[in-house]
Amino acid sequence: MSPIVRIALEEDIGAGDVTTRACVPESQQAQGWFLAREPLIVAGLGLLAELYDSVTLHKQDGDRCHDGEVIALVRGPARVLLERERVALNFLQRLSGVATLARQFAEAVEGTGCRVLDTRKTTPGLRALEKAAAAAGGVTNHRMGLFDAVLLKNNHIAAAGGVRHAIERARSSGLPIEIEVRTRAELEEALDAGAAHLLLDNLTPAEAADWVREIAGRARVELSGGINLATVRAYAETGADFVSAGAITHSARAMDISFRLELA
């Protein structure tokens, strides 16, 4: 059992599920269905195998579910099924929310050649799960953390003494380097220093299109800053290679999934 699942169970069950122990015989066996209660993209199904000994999946991560469809069937002692119900639902509802919103972003930019990236704006402790859910929904995972790629933002540039110094010093890491540029002067300095991946933040679509034309393929371009479902298509049509949206993880709502128990 993974640490995050163990923590979730300990948080909810504590010293024991007093309600279930009071009214359900220890020997009672049961089965239960996880059901979609609205259209959604499901994610997090791998966690069910950590929670239950007998799991039959009717869907896979990334599958579309309609209202009323069975997502999975679990079997075992009724006490176990009941005491782990909320933890299972919390994971499935949260992760399916991320996957569903990610699919909406991915579909919004179809045909533009631009890819949607997720961000590090995730729930503490759930990053790996939420990024897996985002990928299941159809967007591209950006860096997992501070350790697997270099992203030079305005404060790094200030601390390093400028754009060129920041890029030159970052090359010693041997990792991919992306740099944020905020002015035309910073843009030219970054390109002269050999920057291959630029981050343009908080521009309007019209401004972004103008910058992309000036860059003219000399570096890959990512756009970020308040991009949402209503605006992502306009940003994708600027010619940028990527758009990143923190909303995919920090603003996804939990989807409506229920659990129905039946005695065996």
| Residue 201 is among the residues annotated as catalytic for this protein | yes
The active-site residue out of 17, 118, 178, 180 is: 180
- CA–CA separation, 113 vs 91, rounded Å? 32
84 plus 186 within the same structural domain = no
Residue 22 belongs to a domain with what CATH number? 3.90.1170.20
The active-site residue out of 12, 63, 69, 201 is: 201
78 plus 137 within the same structural domain = no
Is the pTM higher than 0.85? Answer: yes
Residue 125 belongs to a domain with what CATH number? 3.20.20.70
CA distances from residue 195 to 111, 116, 235 in whole angstroms, order as listed: 27, 21, 22
Closest by CA position to 122, among listed 225, 7, 251: 251
Structural domain range at position 210: 109-250
The active-site residue out of 64, 86, 182, 220 is: 86
130 plus 234 within the same structural domain = yes
84 plus 97 within the same structural domain = yes
Total of domains in the chain: 2
For the chain, give the longest Cα–Cα distance.
Answer: 73
The active-site residue out of 153, 164, 169, 218 is: 153
Q: In what order do the strands lie in the sheet with 54-57?
A: 54-57, 70-77, 29-36, 257-263
141 plus 226 within the same structural domain = yes
The active-site residue out of 75, 115, 120, 121 is: 121
20 plus 92 within the same structural domain = yes
| Residue 153 is among the residues annotated as catalytic for this protein | yes
* Predicted local distance difference test score (pLDDT) of residue 264: 87
* Predicted local distance difference test score (pLDDT) of residue 144: 95
- CA–CA separation, 263 vs 163, rounded Å? 66
131 plus 246 within the same structural domain = yes
| Residue 63 is among the residues annotated as catalytic for this protein | no
- Give pLDDT tens digits along the chain (264 positions): 999 999 999 999 999 999 999 999 999 999 999 999 999 999 999 999 999 999 999 999 999 999 999 999 999 999 999 999 999 999 999 999 999 999 999 999 999 999 999 999 999 999 999 999 999 999 999 999 999 999 999 999 999 999 999 999 999 999 999 999 999 999 999 999 999 999 999 999 999 999 999 999 999 999 999 899 999 999 999 999 999 999 999 999 999 999 999 998
21 plus 93 within the same structural domain = yes
223 plus 234 within the same structural domain = yes
| Residue 180 is among the residues annotated as catalytic for this protein | yes
115 plus 212 within the same structural domain = yes
3-state secondary structure the chain: CCHHHHHHHHHHHCCCCHHHHHHCCCCCEEEEEEEECCCEECCCHHHHHHHCCEEEECCCCCCEECCCCEEEEEEEEHHHHHHCHHHHHHHHHHHHHHHHHHHHHHHHCCCCCCEEECCCCCCCCCHHHHHHHHHHHCCECCCCCCCCCEEECHHHHHHHCCHHHHHHHHHHHCCCEEEECCCHHHHHHHHHCCCCEEEEECCCHHHHHHHHHHHCCCCEEEEECCCCCCCHHHHHCCCCCEEECCHHHHCCCCCCEEEEEEEC
116 plus 55 within the same structural domain = no
64 plus 39 within the same structural domain = yes
Q: Any idea which residue has 């910073």 for tokens?
A: 186
Helix axes 184-192, 163-170, angle to 10 degrees: 30
Q: Any idea which residue has 């209660």 for tokens?
A: 37
| Residue 59 is among the residues annotated as catalytic for this protein | no
